[in-house]
């Protein structure tokens, strides 16, 4: 077998494999949604374990967004990013992405869970429409026993976070932006 024949045979095998894949596409989107749904459930369970009063808050909310693993890092200029889901009536209705840019005194990196509770349908609809940001002055309550029950909603939202790992020192200004893609 010549080199050219080997190359042709290799290309033919790859083309054949790709055509089989096209005939029986893998459910990549369904797998991604299933994976994210599982991660979201685990993150929600972690938050509720740290603050049991959060279960009542979630039941009373119009919905909530959960970001199971937001990665954050910075040296002077910082950034954070994470993917999650919007949950309404206990079921995921959309994929959502959090993006944050900060500037100021900061050093390190960390990973954390973030949950945004929507007090009413108007706040939820604003989020789903992509018209939602969290300003620099927005504050988050750390998930600890009873903390979420004592925190107040601001402009229809309440943010709860829980550190997963890492260490970050910061005194920064920035904000979070969100994108939403309905299932």
- pLDDT of 46-72, one tens digit each? 999 999 999 999 999 999 999 999 999
Q: Please say if the pLDDT value at position 133 is more than 90.
A: no
> Taking 80 as the threshold, does the pLDDT of residue 85 lie above it?
yes
pTM equals 0.79
pLDDT of 7 higher than 90: no
Q: What angle do CA 33, 36, 38 make, to 5 degrees?
A: 110
Domain extent listing, the chain: 28-182
What are the Cα distances from residue 92, in Å, to 29, 37, 69? 14, 7, 17
């Amino acid at each position: 077998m010549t080199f050219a024949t080997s190359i042709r045979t290799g290309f033919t095998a790859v083309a054949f494999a790709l055509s089989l894949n096209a005939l029986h596409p893998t459910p990549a989107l369904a797998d991604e949604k299933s994976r994210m749904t599982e991660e979201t459930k685990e993150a929600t369970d972690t938050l509720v374990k740290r603050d049991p009063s959060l279960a009542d808050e979630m039941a009373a909310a119009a919905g909530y967004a959960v970001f199971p693993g937001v990665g954050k890092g910075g040296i002077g200029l910082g950034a954070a990013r994470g993917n999650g889901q919007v949950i309404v009536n206990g079921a995921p209705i959309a994929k959502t992405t959090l993006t944050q840019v900060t500037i100021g005194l900061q050093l390190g990196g960390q990973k954390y869970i973030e949950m945004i509770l929507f007090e009413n349908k108007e706040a939820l609809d604003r989020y789903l429409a992509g018209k939602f940001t969290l300003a620099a002055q927005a504050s988050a309550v750390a998930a600890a026993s009873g903390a979420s029950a004592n925190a107040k909603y601001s402009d229809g939202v309440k943010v709860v976070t829980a550190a997963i790992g890492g260490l970050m020192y910061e005194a920064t200004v920035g904000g979070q932006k969100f994108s939403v893609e309905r299932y």
